[in-house]
């Protein structure tokens, strides 16, 4: 399959998924709060693509949720090339992806994060993941969440779940705090062995995330919470901010490749606290 066809297939999927996720979020909010959409360009002087990020704030269910789609191309800065697969000798790249971050009004509902991407340098690969960050422990929720991910991974390869769960646990870790960001999930990168199989897996990750966030939210949407629960959530959000600004590769990638700053930092919660 030609590379241009692969680019079209992946970017079209990411855009469709963005629209689908936003529709489901609006349905949860009963269409009473609207997304604010911002279309952006990577480079106004050159045609280097861009994207659209959609943010919904101050909902009945969501404190803030951002759904970002991007499709960009250009050249990596020299100091950045050595860190990117296939970019050491040739700085040209193309990338498309979708990322979602949900910060919930009800502190008993966890924050949720998802992203998938397709990056082309002299090599072409998929990456992405799903992870959940509760502010209050719920072992049943944790078991159910990981069971869904395991079943999804097993549809494609029996080795995926343990491999990608371990990768997620190691990636979403705050060394300076010596603690994980949440209850993990799956994380993967550099999937480039078989485009058809890998793209099928990527689509399944996307639709599985849609099912997961709806299931978790609808199960707890009416649960009563206290002011103390909210304060604990604010502290946990502080940890979330620390990870995203200090360690997150997607944040660094976006900022170092001329991405839209507001779109990149949409992952930050509307309010966080530190003791």
- pTM across the whole model: 0.94
- Give the pLDDT confidence score for residue 5 in this predicted structure: 97
Is 113 a residue of the active site? Answer: yes
> Tokens 């870790």 — which residue?
173
pLDDT grade for 230, boundaries at 50, 70 and 90: very high
Q: Where does residue 190 fall: left (phi above 0), alpha (psi -120 to 50 degrees), or beta otherwise?
A: left
pLDDT at residue 258 is higher than 80: no
Residue pointed to by tokens 């897996």: 201
- Which among 103, 113, 146, 176 is annotated as catalytic? 113
Give me Rg for the CA atoms of the chain: 18
| pLDDT digits 0-9 by tens, 94-131 | 999 999 999 999 999 999 999 999 999 999 999 999 99
pLDDT above 80: residue 254: no
Q: Rounded to whole angstroms, how far apart are CA atoms 207 and 212?
A: 9
Which domains are delineated in the chain?
3-267 (3.40.1500.10)
């Amino acid at each position: 399959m030609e590379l241009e066809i692969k680019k079209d297939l992946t970017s079209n999927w990411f855009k469709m998924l963005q629209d689908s996720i936003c529709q489901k979020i609006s349905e949860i909010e009963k269409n009473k709060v609207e997304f604010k959409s911002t279309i952006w360009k990577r480079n106004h002087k050159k045609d280097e693509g861009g994207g659209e990020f959609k943010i919904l704030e101050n909902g009945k269910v969501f404190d803030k949720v951002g759904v970002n789609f991007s499709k960009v191309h250009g050249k990596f800065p020299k100091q950045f090339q050595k860190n990117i697969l296939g970019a050491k000798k040739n700085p040209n790249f193309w990338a498309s992806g979708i990322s979602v971050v949900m910060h919930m009004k009800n502190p008993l509902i966890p924050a949720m994060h998802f992203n998938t991407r397709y990056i082309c340098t002299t090599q072409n690969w998929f990456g992405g993941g799903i992870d959940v960050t509760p502010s209050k422990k719920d072992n049943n929720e944790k078991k159910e969440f990981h069971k869904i991910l395991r079943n999804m991974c097993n549809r494609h390869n029996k080795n995926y779940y343990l491999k990608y769960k371990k990768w997620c646990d190691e990636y979403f870790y705050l060394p300076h705090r010596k603690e994980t960001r949440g209850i993990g999930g799956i994380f993967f990168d550099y999937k480039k062995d078989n485009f058809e199989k890998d793209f099928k897996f990527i689509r399944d990750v996307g639709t599985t995330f849609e099912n997961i966030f709806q299931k978790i939210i609808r199960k707890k949407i009416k649960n009563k919470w206290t002011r103390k629960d909210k304060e604990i959530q604010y502290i946990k959000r502080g940890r979330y901010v620390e990870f995203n600004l200090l360690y997150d590769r997607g944040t660094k990638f976006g900022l170092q490749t001329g991405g839209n700053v507001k779109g990149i930092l949409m992952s930050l919660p509307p309010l966080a606290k530190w003791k």
